C-alpha cells in the first residue's frame, strides 16, 4: 500500500509536471501567435483592400461577388490544404436612388433631414409620401394610440438606445425592436410609413440601415431610418408644432434571389481531422459604408488565423476552417447553407468561432454550448488573460454559426467579444469605413481567435 | 463555551450579512455613478471646449493660463466646498517658427520630411544645419561608432517601438531612451544634431514631440522628431545612398520661468475630513495638438468625479479633491508643488489617482503602494469587474502624483489604466485632437475613478 501510494504520488507529480510543461508550451505558442499577429500588417492591408477597393457589398451586388473572388484568392496564397466555395442563393435588395426625408411644417420652409431606407423596405413610389408624423417611443404605444390616431400617418419611432448600459449590445437589444418590427406594428393600425431613430448612441448625421421585417398579414409600408441628430431635431420640432408633416421618398427594390457563395479555407488536422473547428466572419455588408468593422474585420481576422498557423508552422491536430459567410445582414443564407452542407456530409464541428462585433480590442469570448465545454474553455483563462481576455463565459456565438446548433447540441458556438463602445457609431452606416480600423486592435482580435483555435485544436472539447 | 460559540457564530452570520448588505449598497451606488457618467454629456462637452476652444497649452503659454481660469470656473459651478489654485513657476519653452527637415541627396532634389523640435531642444540657428546623417538603432551603437564616425554628423535614431508588446506602454518604455537621452549620447561623440524616430506604433506623417534632456557636461545640440513614415523613407534612402545629408532648421527658445497654477476642487469628508483622496490629471499639454487625450481627458474626468458625487448627493466620509496639475510634460513642477504644499500643511493623503493614459475604455488600475493597500483594493474587484475593470494590481501611479511618495510611504498612488492600443498614435502629436475622443470611453474612465474614489472614501485604506 505504501509503495502503491508512492507510485501514485510519483505519477501525480509527473502528471502535474507534464501539465505544467504543456501549459508552458501553450503559453509560448500563444505568445508567438500574438507577436506574429501584431508585427505583420497583412490582414490590415487586406482589410484596406476589401473596404476601400471593393467597398460595401450587400448580398447580390457586384461587390459581394468581387469579395468572394478576392477572399478565395487571398486564401489560395496561403498554401492551405483546401480552399473552396459553397453556392448559395441570396436575397437581392437594392437601394436605388438616394432617399429624401423632409420635415414639412404647416407654415414655412421644408427642412431636409438625413434618412435611409431600412434593408428590405418597399418604396414610396416616385412621388414620395407626405403625411402627418406622430412620434412614439415603443411598439406598445402604437397599439395604445390605435387606428384612430395612427391611420394615414407616418409613425416616428424615437426611443433612444439606453446610454447607461456598459455593453452597447444591451442598449441595442433594448431598442432594435423598433427597427425590426416597427413597420409591422404601425401598418396594423393603418400607418403609411415609419421613420426609425437610428440605432446609434452618438449624436451625428448618419442614418443607420439594418434589417426590418414584414408580416404577410398586414400591408407592407416603407420604413426608413433617420440620423440621431435628425431624430432629435424632428422631435423638438414636433413639440413646437403638432400637426407637422413629413415627406419621405425612397425607391428600393427587391430583385429575384441571386447566386452567391460562402468561401472556405481549410488546414487538415493531423490527429483528429474529422473534428472541425471553424473561425469566421461574414463577407457581405450593408451598402452605405465600406463594411470595414461589419464585418470585413471578422473576415480578415479569420484568414489571419490560418496565416498565423502557417507562419508558425503549427500543424493542428484538428481541422481548422476559416469560413467567410455570405448574407449575414439580410437572410443568413450563407450560415444556413454551411450548416446544411455540414449535416449532409455528417461533419463533426466541435467549435465555431465568429467575429462579428467589430475589429476593436478583444475582451473575451461568449460561449453558447454545454456547460462542460464552457468550463473547459474557462480553464484556459490563465493562458488568455495576459492578452486582456477576461470575459470568458456563457454568451452568444454569432448569427452565421447559429444554424450549426441544429446539427448538434455539442458544438461550442463562440463569439469574439471586442470592446463594444464604438461599434454602434458605425454599425450599418456610411461611417463604417477603413479609417475607423486600428491596426493593432484588429490584430489583437486575430491573435485572440488564433490562441483559442490553437487550444481547441490541441485538446479538443 | 457552547453558548459562546453560538454567539460567535451568530455574530459571524450577522457580520457576513452586514458585509453582504454593504456590498449591495456599494454595488448600487457604483451602478448609479456609471449610469450618470454614461448618460450625462457634460464632461465630453467640457473636453470639447478645452481641446477646440483653448487648444494646445504648453506650460507658460497663454492657453495654459486660459485652461487654469476655465477649469477653476468649471469647478466653481459645481458647488464644491472649496476651489483654489496653487501658484507654481514653470519652464517656458516655445517652439517658434515651423521646423524644416530635408533629405539632401548627393545628386538630385531635396526632399522635405515631417519633423518637429523635441521639447526643450535648442535651435539650429536661422540658417539651419546641413550635415551627413548616420542611422543608428540605439544609444549603445553611438558609443560603438565613436567620435570618428559621429563627429560633425547628424545622428538618426531609428529604433521602432516594438509592435509585439500587447501593452503599448511597454513598447514606449523600450524605445523612449532615444528621445530622452539621444542628444546627450550623440553630443558626447561630437554630433551636431539628432533626429529621433517618433514614438508611434502607426505609420503616418505626424512627428511626435516630447521631453528630452541635456547634460551640462556635453554640448547642447538640436534634437528633432521625424514622423514614422519619414523615418522609414529616410532609412530606405540611406540604404541606397550612403553619404546622404540632412538639413534641419528649428529655432525654439527657452524663456524665463513663468508663473502658473495647479487648480484644485474639494468636497470635504463628513467623517474623516483629514484623510484626503486625490483624483487628477494634468492641465498642460504639448503644443502641437489640442491635448485632448493627453491630458484634457484626465482633467475633465477628475472634475466629473466631483460632479458625480454632487449629482448623486453622495456625502463622502473622506475628503475628495480633483487636482489639475500644471507642467507634467516638461518639468512636473505642479506635481512637486502639490506634494510640497501637502507636506507643509501636514496633510494625510491616503490615495491619489491619476488619469494620464488617454480617454480610452478603462481596463483597471495600477497601484504603487504598500501590499496591504493593494490587497484591499483588489478585494473590491467583484464590484469593479462588471465594468470591465479586471487589471487591478501592482503598477504605476502617475507622474504628477509621484512626488507624494516622498511625503509618505503609505499613500496608494493609483494610475487609471485605459486600453492602450491607440494612445501612441496621438501622443504628443498634432493628431491629439478632440475628434479622437469617444464620449462613452471618456465617461467610463470617469465612472471607474468615481467608483474607486467612492470605495476609498467609504472604507479608507
Task: Give the Cβ contact number of residue A51 at 10 Å.
Answer: 26
For every residue of B41-63, DSSP letters joined together read -HHHHHHHIIIIII----TTSHH
What pLDDT is attached to residue B244?
Answer: 96
Please answer yes or no on whether A34 and B385 come within 8 Å at the CB atom: no
Most B CBs within 10 A among A364, A388, A417, hence the mutation to make, goes to A388
Q: Is the distance from CB of B124 to CB of B288 less than 8 angstroms? A: no
Instruction: Report the pLDDT value the prediction gives residue A79, as an integer from 0 to 100.
Output: 97
Residue found by looking up cell 479608507 in the block: B460
The confidence score (pLDDT) of residue A9 equals 58
Query: What is the rounded distance in angstroms from the CA atom of residue B365 to the CA atom of residue B270?
Result: 26
Burial class (CB in 10 A: 0-12, 13-18, 19+), A257: middle
Tens digit of each residue's pLDDT (9 = 90 or more) over A35-44? 999 999 999 9
Are B51 and B57 in contact, with CB atoms under 8 Å apart? no
CATH architecture for segment(s) B28-93+256-459: 3-Layer(aba) Sandwich (3.40)
SS3 for chain A, per residue?
CHHHHHHHHHHHHHHHHHHHHHHHHHHHHHHHHHHHHHHCCHHHHHHHHHHHHHCCCCCCCHHHHHHHHHHHHHHHCCCCCEEEEEEEEEEEEECCCCCEEEEECCCCCCEEECEEECECCCCCCCCCEEEEEEEECCHHHHHHHHHHHHCCCEEEECCCCCCCCCCHHHHHHCCCHHHHHHHHHHHHCCCCEEEEECCCCCCCCCCCCCECCCCCCCCCCCEEEECHHHHHHHHHHHHHCCCCEEEEECCCEEEEEEEEEEEEEEECCCCEEEEEEEEEEECCCCCCCCCHHHHHHHHHHHHHHHHHHHHCCCCCCEEEEEEEECCCCCCCHHHHHHHHHHHHCCCEEEEEEECCCCCCCEEEEEEECCHHHHHHHHCCHHHHHHHCCCEEEECCCCCCCCCHHHHCCCCEEEEEEECCCCHHHHCCCCCCCHHHCCHHHHHHHHHHHHHHHHHHHHHCC
Asked if the C-beta of A361 comes within 8 angstroms of chain B's C-beta atoms, the answer is yes
Task: Please tell me the predicted confidence (pLDDT) of residue B242.
Answer: 86
Give the tens place of pLDDT for each residue, A217-275: 999 999 999 999 999 999 999 999 989 999 999 999 999 999 999 999 999 999 999 99
Chain B residue numbers with beta carbons less than 8 Å from the beta carbon of A361 are 361, 419, 421
pLDDT score of B20? 72
All cell numbers assigned to B160: 521602432
Residue spans of the domains in chain A: they are 32-93+256-459, 96-251
Please say if the pLDDT value at position A32 is more than 50: yes
Cell of B87: 501658484
Interface contact flag, A166 B419, Cβ < 8 Å: no
Q: What is the ipTM of this complex?
A: 0.94
pLDDT tops 90 at residue A77:
yes
State whether B163 and A422 contact (CB < 8 Å).
Answer: no
Is residue A10 very low, low, confident or very high in pLDDT (cuts 50, 70, 90)?
low
Q: Is B92 helix (H, G, I), strand (E, B) or coil?
A: strand
* Optimal mutation site among B28, B35, B164, interface A, most CBs of chain A within 10 A: B164
Is B344 an interface residue toward A (CB < 8 Å)? no
**How is domain A32-93+256-459 classified at the CATH fold level?**
Aminopeptidase (3.40.630)
Q: pLDDT tens digits, residue range A178-214? A: 999 999 999 999 999 999 999 999 999 999 999 999 9
Q: Give the pLDDT band of residue B24 (cuts 50, 70, 90).
A: confident
CA distance B169 to chain A (A): 14
> In angstroms, rounded to a whole number, what is the distance separating the alpha carbons of residues B65 and B53?
13
- Could you tell me the pLDDT band of residue B42, with boundaries at 50, 70 and 90? very high
User: Out of B35, B165, B388, whose CB is closest to A164?
Assistant: B35
A438: alpha, beta or left? (left if phi > 0; alpha if psi -120 to 50): beta
A344/A327 Cα distance (integer angstroms): 21
Whether residue B393 is predicted with pLDDT greater than 70 in this model: the reply is: yes
Given a contact cutoff of 8 angstroms between Cβ atoms, the answer to whether A163 and B39 are in contact is yes
**Active-site residue (options: B185, B328, B354, B417):** B328
What are the residues whose beta carbons fall under 8 Å from the beta carbon of A165, sequence distance 6 or more? A171, A174, B38
From the list B132, B130, B69, the residue with the least C-alpha distance to B101 is: B130
Tell me the pLDDT of chain A averaged across its residues.
Answer: 96
- Nearest Cα residue in chain A from B166: A387
| Contact at CB, A164 and B39, closer than 8 angstroms | yes
Give the best residue of B27, B34, B37, B38 to mutate against chain A (max A CB count within 10 A). B38
Closest CA to B206 of B115, B290, B293: B115
Please judge whether B438 and A422 are an interchain contact, meaning their C-beta atoms are less than 8 angstroms apart: yes
pLDDT at A97 (0 to 100) = 93
In the three-class reduction of DSSP (H, G, I as helix; E, B as strand; rest coil), residue B386 is classed as helix
Sheet of strand A362-368, all strands in order from the earlier edge strand to the far edge: A82-94, A253-267, A318-325, A272-282, A348-354, A412-418, A362-368, A391-394
The answer to whether B417 and B396 are in contact (CB under 8 A) is no
Averaged pLDDT for residues A151-178: 98
Which residue of chain B comes nearest to A424, CA vs CA?
B440
Residues in chain A within 8 Å Cβ distance of B170: none
The whole-angstrom distance between A201's CA and the closest CA on chain B is 9
Q: Which of B164, B386, B391 sits opposite A38 (nearest CB)?
A: B164
A9/A138 Cα distance (integer angstroms):
65
In chain B, residues with a C-beta closer than 8 Å to the C-beta of A42 are none
B378-400: average pLDDT: 98
C-alpha A401/C-alpha A352 separation (Å) is 6
B444 and A166 in contact by Cβ < 8 A?
Answer: yes
pTM of the full predicted structure?
0.95
What whole-number distance in Å separates Cα of residue B301 and Cα of residue B358? 11
- A115-135: average pLDDT: 98
Q: Specify whether the CB–CB gap between A125 and A251 falls below 8 A.
A: yes
pLDDT grade, residue A8 (50/70/90)? low
What is each CA distance from B395 to A167, B268, B366, in whole angstroms?
27, 28, 4
The CATH number for A96-251, chosen from 3.50.30.30, 3.30.70.1070, 3.40.50.10490, 1.10.1200.10, is: 3.50.30.30
> Could you tell me which chain A residue has the CA closest to the CA of B444?
A166
Asked if B229 has any chain A CB less than 8 Å from its own CB, the reply is: no
Helix/strand/coil for B352: strand
Residue written as grid cell 504520488: A9
* Partner B contacted by A311 (CB < 8 A): no
Q: Which of B165, B363, B440 is opposite residue A388, by nearest beta carbon?
A: B363
| pLDDT digit string, tens, across residues A272-299 | 999 999 999 999 999 999 999 999 999 9
Contact list in A for residue B165 (CB cut-off 8 A) is: 38
**A461/A456 Cα distance (integer angstroms):** 7
Residue A1's pLDDT is 46
Size of the A and B interface in Cβ pairs below 8 Å:
67
Residues B64-69: what's their mean pLDDT? 98
In whole numbers, what is the pLDDT of chain B averaged over residues? 96
**Residues of chain B positioned with their CB less than 8 A from the CB of A163:** 38-39, 440
What average pLDDT does the segment B250-266 reach?
98
What is the Cα A217 distance to its own chain's centre?
A: 30
Name chain B contacts of A201, Cβ cutoff 8 Å.
440
**Cβ-based contacts of A439 with chain B (< 8 Å):** 202
Q: Which residue of A has its CA nearest to B362?
A: A419
- Residue B24 backbone phi and psi in degrees, to 5: -65, -45
Which of B238-260 are b and which e, b meaning 16 or more Cβ less than 10 Å from the residue's Cβ? beeeeebbbbbbbbbeeeeebeb
Q: Residue A21: pLDDT band by 50, 70, 90 thresholds? A: confident
CA distance B364 to chain A (A): 11
Residue B207: per-residue pLDDT: 98
CA dist., res. A448 & res. A385, Å (int): 10
Say what the pLDDT of residue B1 is: 45
Q: Which residues of A are catalytic?
A: 328
CB contact residues (below 8 A), chain A span 138-197, against chain B = 163-166, 168
Amino acid at each position: 500500500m505504501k509503495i502503491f501510494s508512492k507510485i501514485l504520488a510519483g505519477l501525480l507529480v509527473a502528471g502535474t509536471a507534464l501539465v505544467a510543461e504543456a501549459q508552458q508550451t501553450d503559453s509560448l505558442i500563444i505568445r508567438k501567435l500574438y507577436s506574429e499577429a501584431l508585427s505583420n500588417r497583412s490582414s490590415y492591408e487586406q482589410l484596406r483592400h476589401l473596404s476601400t477597393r471593393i467597398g460595401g457589398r450587400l448580398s447580390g451586388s457586384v461587390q459581394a461577388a468581387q469579395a468572394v473572388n478576392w477572399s478565395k484568392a487571398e486564401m489560395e496564397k496561403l498554401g492551405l490544404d483546401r480552399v473552396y466555395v459553397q453556392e448559395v442563393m441570396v436575397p437581392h435588395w437594392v437601394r436605388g436612388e438616394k432617399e429624401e426625408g423632409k420635415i414639412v411644417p404647416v407654415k414655412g420652409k421644408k427642412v431636409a433631414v438625413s434618412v435611409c431606407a431600412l434593408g428590405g423596405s418597399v418604396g414610396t413610389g416616385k412621388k414620395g409620401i407626405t403625411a402627418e408624423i406622430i412620434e412614439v417611443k415603443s411598439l406598445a404605444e402604437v397599439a395604445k394610440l390605435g387606428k384612430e390616431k395612427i391611420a394615414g400617418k407616418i409613425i416616428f419611432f424615437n426611443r433612444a438606445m439606453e446610454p447607461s448600459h456598459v455593453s452597447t449590445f444591451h442598449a441595442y437589444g433594448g431598442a432594435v425592436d423598433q427597427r425590426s418590427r416597427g413597420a409591422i406594428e404601425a401598418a396594423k393600425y393603418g400607418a403609411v410609413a415609419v421613420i426609425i431613430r437610428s440605432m446609434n448612441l452618438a449624436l451625428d448625421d448618419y442614418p443607420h440601415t439594418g434589417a426590418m421585417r414584414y408580416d404577410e398579414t398586414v400591408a407592407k409600408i416603407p420604413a426608413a431610418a433617420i440620423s440621431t441628430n435628425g431624430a432629435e431635431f424632428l422631435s423638438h420640432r414636433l413639440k413646437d408644432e403638432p400637426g407637422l408633416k413629413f415627406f419621405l421618398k425612397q425607391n428600393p427594390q427587391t430583385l429575384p434571389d441571386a447566386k452567391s457563395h460562402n468561401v472556405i479555407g481549410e488546414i487538415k488536422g493531423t490527429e483528429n481531422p474529422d473534428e472541425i473547428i471553424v473561425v469566421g466572419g461574414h463577407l457581405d455588408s450593408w451598402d452605405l459604408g465600406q463594411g470595414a468593422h461589419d464585418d470585413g474585420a471578422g473576415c480578415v481576422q479569420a484568414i489571419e488565423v490560418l496565416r498565423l498557423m502557417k507562419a508558425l508552422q503549427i500543424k493542428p491536430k484538428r481541422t481548422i476552417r476559416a469560413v467567410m459567410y455570405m448574407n449575414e445582414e439580410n437572410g443568413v443564407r450563407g450560415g444556413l447553407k454551411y450548416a446544411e452542407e455540414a449535416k449532409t456530409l455528417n461533419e463533426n464541428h466541435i467549435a465555431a468561432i465568429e467575429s462579428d462585433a467589430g475589429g476593436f480590442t478583444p475582451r473575451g469570448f461568449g460561449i453558447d454550448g454545454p456547460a462542460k465545454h464552457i468550463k473547459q474553455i474557462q480553464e484556459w483563462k490563465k493562458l488568455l488573460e495576459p492578452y486582456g481576455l477576461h470575459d470568458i463565459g456563457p454568451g452568444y456565438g454569432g448569427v452565421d454559426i447559429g444554424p450549426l446548433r441544429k446539427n448538434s447540441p455539442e458544438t461550442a458556438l463562440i463569439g469574439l467579444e471586442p470592446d463594444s463602445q464604438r461599434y454602434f457609431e458605425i454599425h450599418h452606416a456610411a461611417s463604417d469605413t477603413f479609417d475607423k480600423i486600428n491596426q493593432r486592435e484588429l490584430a489583437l482580435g486575430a491573435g485572440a481567435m488564433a490562441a483559442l483555435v490553437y487550444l481547441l485544436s490541441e485538446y479538443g472539447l
